[in-house]
Amino acid sequence: MDIMIIHRQDDVIHFLVEGIDVAFANALRRTMLTRVPAMAIDEVLVLENTSVMYDEILAHRLGLIPLITDLESYNLPQDCDCEGKGCSLCQCTLTLEKESGSEDVVVYSGDLVSQDPKVNPSTGEIPLVKLAPNQRLIIEAYARLGTGLENAKFQPVSTVAYKYVPIVEVDKDKCTKCEACVEVCPKKIFVIDKDTLATQNTLDCTMCELCVQECEPGAITIGSKNDAFLFKVESSGALAPEAIVENAADTLKKRIRVSLDFVGKL
Amino acid sequence: MIIPIRCFTCGKLVADKFDQFKRQVRQGEDPAVVLDNLGLHRYCCRRMLLSHIDIIDSFMAFATTEVVEGK
Ligand SMILES: [Zn+2]
Ligand SMILES: [Zn+2]
């Protein structure tokens, strides 16, 4: 199995994996979605809320805020010594106090004050609610680790997708250089280079086969490799994208070991 | 009521981008270009900002806390 990183940004990673089959690629994808733990607000104590928004909507909005997760210093509640009751090893308290004076105030995620400086909203610019003059908000929120299996808010990723590696082939003898494919391709794969049809950035090809339909002489064929996959992992901001992939690979390995041990005992 | 925190379909964070989107579109920029620059490439996320109407300001006109009781 070979992995090549194609592109990496703060919250997205694109990589190519060679030498695996669909089953493995999908197992990795699903592990990233449902088994990698991330922090999210799970319980909210509303001490005062005179805003126009119901407590429930506010609590729901708080739950969706991606929190920067420190996997090293927190336990999943079910694995914690406190047996899920909630202690400093599995829970983090965030408080929010905001009062509007004589003018409208927007409450942002950045107004949340965390007990642990490492656990904070990934961005402070999420508007939570707007307060009219003389309205007040006092909230205590408890964040914990969880997995996507329980609730989608715990997913550390927004999208994880993989696709086959496309192979775009042009038969130079059949091609009449009509440039129909150059026009029609939404990803601009085809270029006319010194009177011959050439291809560029073929990894961007979505295999829509519009070029195949447009090509009168039938000079273009689109195929795919069946043992290589292009992954795109987009983090919600809770964890770094490469940390998500690493963690998912470890989790998958552990789970496969468990099932092998079980099969061995039969 | 107020901009949803995440995209309904894919779960990408969209709320933090709404202020900038609104500001730039009001200045006359092309919404498609603004969305591209904000990193919202999928149409599920793009519709979140494009189709949103903030009505919290209309609700706030009916706020009942002009005078706080007991104060
Ligand atoms: Zn605990
Ligand atoms: Zn989306």
Q: What is the pLDDT of residues A193-246, one digit of tens each?
A: 888 888 888 888 988 989 999 888 888 999 999 899 999 999 999 999 999 999
Does some domain include residue A82? yes
Q: Which percentage of chain B shows pLDDT scores above 90?
A: 77
- Could you give the angle at the alpha carbon of A61 between the alpha carbons of A58 and A65, nearest 5°? 140
Is residue A166 domain-shared with residue A87, that is, in the same domain? no
The answer to whether residue A254 sits within a structural domain is no
For residue A261, pLDDT beyond 90:
yes
Among residues A117, A132, A152, the one where a domain terminates is A152
Query: Across the interface, do B65 and A61 touch by the CB < 8 Å criterion?
Result: no
Q: Please identify, among A112, A135, A152, the residue that sits at the C-terminal boundary of a domain.
A: A152
Query: A36, A145 in Cβ contact below 8 A?
Result: no
Task: Report chain B's mean pLDDT, rounded to a whole number.
Answer: 90
pLDDT of B71 > 80? The answer is no
Task: Tell how far the Cα of A40 is from the centroid of ligand 1, in angstroms.
Answer: 15
> Which of A129, A152, A175 marks a domain boundary?
A152
Q: What is the pLDDT of residues A79-112, one digit of tens each?
A: 999 888 889 999 999 999 999 988 999 999 999 9
For range A162-166, the mean pLDDT: 93
Token digits of residue A30: 């699903």
- Side-chain-facing half-sphere of A120: CA atoms under 13 Å: 11
**Contacts by A107-110, CB closer than 8 A, 24 or more apart:** A107/A131, A107/A137, A109/A65, A109/B16
Other CB atoms within 10 Å distance of the CB of residue A179: 13
Residue A76 has pLDDT above 80, yes or no: yes
The minimal CB distance from B66 to the residues A57, A126, A134 is found for A134
The CA distance from B11 to A38, in Å, is 14
Class of domain B1-71: mainly alpha
Chain B CB contacts of A241 below 8 Å: none
Q: Summarize the confidence of residues A165-194 as an average pLDDT.
A: 88
Mean pLDDT throughout B32-54?
Answer: 95
For residue A173, the enclosing domain spans 2-34+159-231
Q: Where are the domains of chain B?
A: 1-71
Q: For position A197, what pLDDT does the model report?
A: 86
Q: How far is A177 from chain B, CA to nearest CA, in Å?
A: 32
Give the pLDDT score at B70: 56
Q: Which of B5, B44, B67 to mutate to test the interface with A (most CBs of A within 10 A)?
A: B5
Which ligand has the shortest distance to the CA of A145? 1
Instruction: Give the end-to-end CA distance of chain B in Å, rounded to a whole number.
Output: 30
**B3 chain-A contacts, CB cut-off 8 A:** 127
- Say how many domains are in chain A: 2
pLDDT value of position A174? 86
According to the model, what pLDDT value does residue B47 have? 96
Q: Please give the Cα distance from A157 to A11 (Å, whole number).
A: 9
ipTM over 0.90: no
pLDDT of amino acid B67: 56
Q: Is the pLDDT of residue A140 over 90?
A: yes
**pLDDT higher than threshold 60 for residue A129:** yes
A148 touches chain B (CB under 8 A): no
Considering the entire predicted model, what is its pTM? 0.87
| Chain A touched by B59 (CB under 8 Å) | yes
Ligand with an atom nearest the CA of residue A81: 1
B55 touches chain A (CB under 8 A): no
pLDDT at res. A85: 87
Same domain, A145 and A197: no
Secondary structure in 3-state letters for A32-55? HHHCCCEEEEEEEEEEEECCCCCH
**Which chain B residues have a beta carbon less than 8 Å from that of A58?**
none
